[in-house]
Amino acid sequence: MRPHFLRTATPALAALMCLPWDAVLASVALALMALIPLLEISLRPLAGSGIANAPVVVQHLGLVMAMLGSVAALGKGHLSSFGKGLSLEGRPRLNAASQSFGRYFAALVCGILSWASWQLVDSERPVAHALAYGIPIWWLQASMPLGFALLGWRLSRAALGVPLLMGALLAWHFDGASLPLWPAVLTLVLGLLAGAPIFAVLGALALALFWQDGLPLASIALSHYQITVNPSLPALPLFTLAGLIFARTGAARRLGTVFVALFGSGPTGTVLASAVLCSAFTAFTGGSGVTILALGGLLLPLLRGAGVPEQRGISLVTSASALGVLLAPSVPLIMYAIIARVPINTMFLAGLLPAAIMVLFLLVLGGYLRRVPAAASPAMAGSAVSAEPAAATTATPKLGTALWLAKWELLAPLVAVGALVSGVATPTESAAIAAAYAVLTQALAHRELGWRTLGQTLADATQIIGGVMLILGMALGLTNYLIDAGIPDAAIQWAQGMIPNKWVFLLALNGFLFLAGALMEIFAALVVLVPLLLPVASSYGLDPVHFGIIFLANMELGFLCPPAGMNIYFASALFNKPVRTVAAAVLPALLAIFLGTLAISLLPASATWLPSLLHTMP
């Protein structure tokens, strides 16, 4: 008979073996990223020292996880793009040719990036700095050229990898040479229209600009490496893992019961419960789309059962899911803190009051608290979410029972954020604690997390973060070029010459960020725009913490605006409604959130008062 350890470990191995090899290796890297900080915390008081160079080891495991996770994300079709290429009715061949061009363009870019990354790794090989226990650091850095090569191969497999090889040869022959900009820009625009992934478009633009000035292409690979091994960055996949675990178990249902018991099961109470739950859940899961998928099927029947019209219910779930960006431990909140060099715990505190203001504006000005007679509450035809569960939700559950059943989920924010805000743990350690807490409570306390689900959740987390890191790395390369070109200084001079005072600047800033949120993916916007706009905002006397809250609040609007408004697409798929119908439904919410953003902009204390009170302001 096998020992108990082997009997329990076998399902875990079987779950991982069902995944592609790249997803397995990325999942193992993420698991080690969680285990090493926990071992470090445990060994420090017992042995006086922990694992050698543990923080740097975790950072480089993050690099491996991100590169292989992005390869797995491509295999699942999860790499973000601005569309799927041309979609001309009755022209299937042209549509197929467009999509092929988009893939081959991205493969060409991957070939160039693979060569540039290898140049970076090759410069490290002779020095052979040790990571820990004699392991050379370049071994893990080699995941960059390998990852880009794998991406390029999978994108151009139908063409036998020719675009990938062409990209590598192009980089080998012309690296360091000065090339004209316009052919690259023309090809880039065509790739964008053909539906190429966002990272390829940003990477191509950065490569074109560096090539125009004859700069080494390894500079872009260096930017990708620097942001991926940032000391605070391992917190992102670990917090995402914790949120996904809660999303895959019954946590959403238990939390929903608590909020309904707290606010009541009538129309007003159910609306309040839905808005608060969606906002809080987005903060933990790291993506508002995940919240819609996890909670939409639960909340829409609740809202309909309480007498809320279906269109308004869809609008509420879609828009409220965007509001968690300002709440800890949301990934964009952490990313802003890293880019702007503001303490993460300060941003966690700064987002609390603005998030409450945004929810208040959404509910009041968005019209969700307005009562509608039952006769005026028809269900929209064709919904993919059944109305049958609504009958079981008419009675308000007992608050005490609901609190007890959801006690582990309610303690999760305190566990996740408490150690960081108190200064007891680093961002990576607090995120590892949050991930371990999610696993233990859902697997042992509730017995809802099996090995197979855990393995799939690990893989999904690596794919989400892998795709994000590709965008961040390419965007940082572009940003570094713009900074070296003096664009921020020129922007300050232009703004001060055109905009007379702080208040006009705030209005102009919100208008610009609203458009940027609608057109840009949130992480690309963070990396490209924050370094350019923060110096301008500081020249008008804006605090970096207040600016960050304004920036992220406007990005929340972007979740609801095509073409980058992913919430609309997720809601359209889940509720089986046309994109146009969902977009029209969220228009009142869009106006309400924009007005809330203006209110936050004009009230700096909404963002700075709480951090100042607790002495965490930089």
How many CA atoms lie less than 13 Å away from 156 in the CB half-sphere? 24
pTM of the model: 0.82
Q: Could you report the per-residue pLDDT of 450-465, keeping only the tens digit for each?
A: 888 899 999 988 988 8
Q: How far apart are CA 460 and CA 149, in angstroms?
A: 22
Average pLDDT over residues 462-470: 87
For residues 128 and 11, state if they share a domain.
Answer: yes
Tokens coding 534: 């923060």
User: Can you give the three-state secondary structure of 376-403, one letter per residue?
Assistant: HCCCCCCCCCCCHHHHHHCCCCCHHHHH
Q: What is the DSSP letter of 250?
A: T
**Does 272 have pLDDT greater than 50?**
yes
For residues 264 and 332, state if they share a domain.
Answer: yes
Q: How far apart are CA 562 and CA 460, in angstroms?
A: 25
Show which of 228, 247, 277 is a domain's final residue: 228
For residues 389 and 419, state if they share a domain.
Answer: yes
**Does 381 have pLDDT greater than 50?**
no
- Find out whether 109 and 496 touch, Cβ atoms under 8 Å: no
Tokens coding 517: 């949120």
Q: DSSP secondary structure string, 130-162? A: EEETTEEHHHHHTHHHHHHHHHHHHHSGGGTTH
For residues 499 and 541, state if they share a domain.
Answer: yes
Q: DSSP secondary structure string, 506-571? A: HHHHHHHHHHHHHHS-HHHHHHHHHHHHHHHHHHTT--HHHHHHHHHHHHHHHTTSTTT-HHHHHH
Average pLDDT over residues 345-372: 88
For residues 198 and 327, state if they share a domain.
Answer: no
Average pLDDT over residues 292-307: 80
**Does 194 have pLDDT greater than 90?**
no
Q: How far apart are CA 445 and CA 439, in angstroms?
A: 10
**Does 385 have pLDDT greater than 70?**
no
Residue 506 pLDDT class (50, 70, 90 cuts): very high
**Can you give the residue range of the structural domain that contains 122?**
4-228
Q: How far apart are CA 383 and CA 613, in angstroms?
A: 47
Residue 33 pLDDT class (50, 70, 90 cuts): very high
Greater model confidence, 40 or 90: 40
For residues 371 and 331, state if they share a domain.
Answer: yes
pLDDT for residue 389: 42
- % of the chain beyond a pLDDT of 70: 87
For residues 238 and 178, state if they share a domain.
Answer: no
For residues 450 and 512, state if they share a domain.
Answer: yes
- Enclosing H/E stretch for 211: helix 198-212
Residue 324 pLDDT class (50, 70, 90 cuts): confident
Greater model confidence, 66 or 132: 66
pLDDT for residue 6: 43
Q: What is the mean pLDDT of the chain?
A: 83
For residues 221 and 310, state if they share a domain.
Answer: no
What is the total count of domains within the chain?
2
Greater model confidence, 562 or 342: 342
Q: How far apart are CA 511 and CA 135, in angstroms?
A: 50
For residues 337 and 419, state if they share a domain.
Answer: yes
Average pLDDT over residues 320-349: 88
Show which of 211, 228, 245 is a domain's final residue: 228
